[in-house]
Structure 1
Amino acid sequence: MKLICYLSNGYPTIEASINMAKDYIEAGCDIIEVDFPSSDPYLEGEYIANRMKEALTACNDYSRYMDGIIKIKSSHPNTKFILLAYENTILEIGLDRFISFCTDNSMTDLIYVGNNNEEVKKKMIQSGIKISCYIQFHMDEEEINSAVESNGFVYMQAKPTTNNINPGFPTLKHCIDHLKGLGINREIYCGVGIYSPEDIQMAKEAGADGVFVGSTVLKLHTDIPRMKETITLFKKTCEE
């Protein structure tokens, strides 16, 4: 099972993010989720949203963010990357330019946060970009249908956050088994609620292909040795 760690691109600086990616990989991270900070990160919690705001205060030139990502990728050619970008950010960069960046650098896995602008989404998919679909734990039928029709990985909510449990799918394993039974053979990565080795073990036993770890790692950025120990422990749990 793959370990996916979230990288706040540009926080506190782009150069710091480049170095942090190196620390992630050295510690055992398989996949890095790297964001383009958004000026309107409406789906993020306060912690991530504030990091995006501070990143854009330090640098609002998306060309430099692109250059930083390219530098990370060229230094770590065997590491996979997932991009996170809001629709407003993509349009600010320029849709054609964003698509060219993704395809030219073979970074086509995208977590796309948008307002259902079908033209933007359609053009990206036609260009070979694979857009993920998020499914909440209560297994919303519309979200499931979108995942079946999508070309990207499934981002499955690992734990209910507000007792949003569907009686037909009471556990994460029930959820994942159902999605696979519908013919989804793309990766199913679990996030939201993954904080500990026990959470990772739960996702692994449920049949997940990978787990997203966010704040648990981000909050250790001021203690690199401890952060690397935590990532190593999480990776070991993924492999056991």
Structure 2
Amino acid sequence: MKLICYLSNGYPTMESGIRIAKEYVEAGCDIIEVDFPSSDPFLEGEYIAGRMKSALEGCSDYSRYMDSIKAIKSDNPNTKLVLLCYEDTILKIGTQPFIEFCTQNQIHDMIYVGGDNEEVKSSIIKSGMKISCYVQFHMPEEEIKAALASNGFVYMQAKPTANNINPLYPTLKDCIDELKRRGITREIYAGVGIYTTEDIQMAKNAGADAVFVGSTILKLQTDIPKMKEIIARFKKACSE
């Protein structure tokens, strides 16, 4: 199972983000989820939304965020990148320039958030990009159908929120087994609520292909040796 670490692009600076990406990879991170900070990150928690806001206060020029991602890609050529991008950000960049950026840099996977502009999403998919689909732990039927219709990995909520459990699928393994039974053959990545090695082992035993780790790693970026130690420990849990 692969380990995905979240990187706040441009926080606290562009240069630090590029440097931290290298530290991630050296410590054992398999995939980096890197964002284009949004001015309206409505799906994010307060912590990551605050980092996006701070990044944009420091730099609102999205071409510099593109340059940062290019540098990360160049420094870590064997590491897969997954872009997190809100629709409003894509519209600010321009759909075609965004597509050209992804194509030129051989970035194929993204988490696309928000908006009802089907033309934008359709253009991105036609370009060859793969857009993930999020499925909540209580397995809403409409989200399962959307996952079946999508072309990217399935982002499966790893842990339930309060009262967010479908009695037919009470565990993560039950949820993943049902998605596969329904015909999902693409990767299933588990995220939200992954904080410990026990969480990672639970996701691995459930059949996830990768796990997302976010704030647990982000909060250690002022102590790089400790951050790398935790990433290495998480990677070991993915492999055991």
TM over 0.5: yes
Distance in 2 (alpha carbons) for counterparts of 1:233 and 1:28 = 9
The code of the aligned residue for 1:98 comes to F
1:163 to partner: Cα distance: 2.0
Distance in 2 (alpha carbons) for counterparts of 1:4 and 1:215 = 12
Report matched runs for 1:1-240 at 5 Å.
1-240=1-240
Q: Among the aligned pairs, what percent are the same residue?
A: 73
Structure 2 contact 88–115 (Cα < 8 Å) conserved:
no
Distance in 1 (alpha carbons) for counterparts of 2:166 and 2:68 = 42
Give CA deviations for 1:117-164 in whole Å, capped at 9, x if unaligned.
Answer: 211111111111100000000001101000001000000000001220
SS in 2 for 1:23: helix
What TM-score does the superposition give when structure 2 sets the normalisation length?
A: 0.99
What TM-score does the superposition give when structure 1 sets the normalisation length?
A: 0.99
Give CA deviations for 1:194-227 in whole Å, capped at 9, x if unaligned.
Answer: 0000000000000000000000000001111100
1:183 to partner: Cα distance: 1.4
Distance in 2 (alpha carbons) for counterparts of 1:98 and 1:163 = 39
Distance in 2 (alpha carbons) for counterparts of 1:11 and 1:176 = 34
Could you list the runs of 5+ residues in structure 1 that have no partner in the other structure? none
Give CA deviations for 1:64-106 in whole Å, capped at 9, x if unaligned.
Answer: 1101100110111100000000000000000000011111111
Distance in 2 (alpha carbons) for counterparts of 1:95 and 1:34 = 18
Distance in 2 (alpha carbons) for counterparts of 1:45 and 1:170 = 25
The code of the aligned residue for 2:173 comes to K
The code of the aligned residue for 1:109 comes to D
What RMSD in Å do the two structures reach over aligned CA positions? 0.6
Runs of 4+ in structure 1 off by over 3 angstroms are: none
